[in-house]
Amino acid sequence: MNLEEMKRRKKELGITNQQLADFSGVPVGTVNKIFSGATKSPQHDTVVALEAALGMYVSDLYHKPEGGRTVRESRAAYYAKRDYRARDYYALPDHIRMELIDGQLYYMASPGRLHQELLTELLYRFKGYIAGKKGPFRIYPAPFDVRLDRDDRTIVQPDISIVCHPDRLTEQGIDGAPDFVLEIISASTGKKDYSLKLQKYWDAGVREYWIVDPIKKRIVTYQFHEEDMNMKIYGIHDPVPVGIYEDLVIDFSEFDLWSI
């Protein structure tokens, strides 16, 4: 894949740099630099995200049309449309992770080591608390499908989802809003997690949303109410109270991870 091929594909789709940034999760400043030629050697994950958004992958799926000759299908069919539905999401190859938000597919890069270390530590603490309470609570790490709006235009995969109402659980995931959602920020997901998903979670009825941001070294918590939200910002060495529970605090000073 080279820059000229990506430019040609972008022109065929008729999309702007901003639209490509929104679709791929790559910051628009990075997209501008790549397509202007200012960035000569973009990171591999960035190129992969752009290729996915532009529909330039070749899938690992094969089919045999009449005549028996094996044909490799283009992944472009998965990305070139403007309004996707759940059937498109579930038709994606298993090794391609994307989220469906208001009819748009957003590429999800593979998580890095710090992301996974944080996820493991957080799951351990939440799971221990929930097990001790022996209540109807359920906790699920990504990848786990959340049909946030109970329609076929939005399916997200929060890093952690906690459900206090088991009737919302299905064989495929969660049907409706979890009570608690946590996202761990990466360079490619920051804009989506801080703006688009923030609004989606609030609108859907999520009670509490955390953003753990290793890049800015902070934890941002939101407690949602019908008309407003309560936002608080903590440092990476602070104890952070969990709003949906009265007696649970996650002490991030115990996480010996920040030098990774």
**Which residues are CB-contacts of 11 (< 8 A; sequence separation ≥ 6)?**
none
pTM (two decimals): 0.70
Choose between 138 and 193: higher pLDDT.
138
CATH number of 3-107: 1.10.260
Long-range contacts: 115-119, Cβ < 8 Å, 24+? Answer: 115/159, 115/184, 115/186, 115/214, 117/257, 117/260, 118/184, 118/212, 118/214, 118/255, 118/257, 119/159, 119/160, 119/184
Segment 115-153, tens digit of pLDDT? 999 999 999 999 999 999 887 889 999 999 999 999 999
pLDDT given at position 258: 63
Domain topology for 113-254: tt1808, chain A (3.90.1570)
* 9-32 pLDDT per residue, tens: 888 777 788 878 877 778 899 999
Tens of pLDDT, residues 66-112: 333 333 333 333 444 568 899 989 988 777 788 999 998 888 878 88
Residue 70 pLDDT? 31
- What distance in Å separates the CA atoms of residue 31 and residue 47, rounded to the nearest whole number? 10
Identify which of 256, 187, 179, 188 has the alpha carbon closest to the alpha carbon of residue 210: 179
Extents of the domains making up the chain: 3-107, 113-254
pLDDT-derived band at 58, boundaries 50, 70, 90? very low
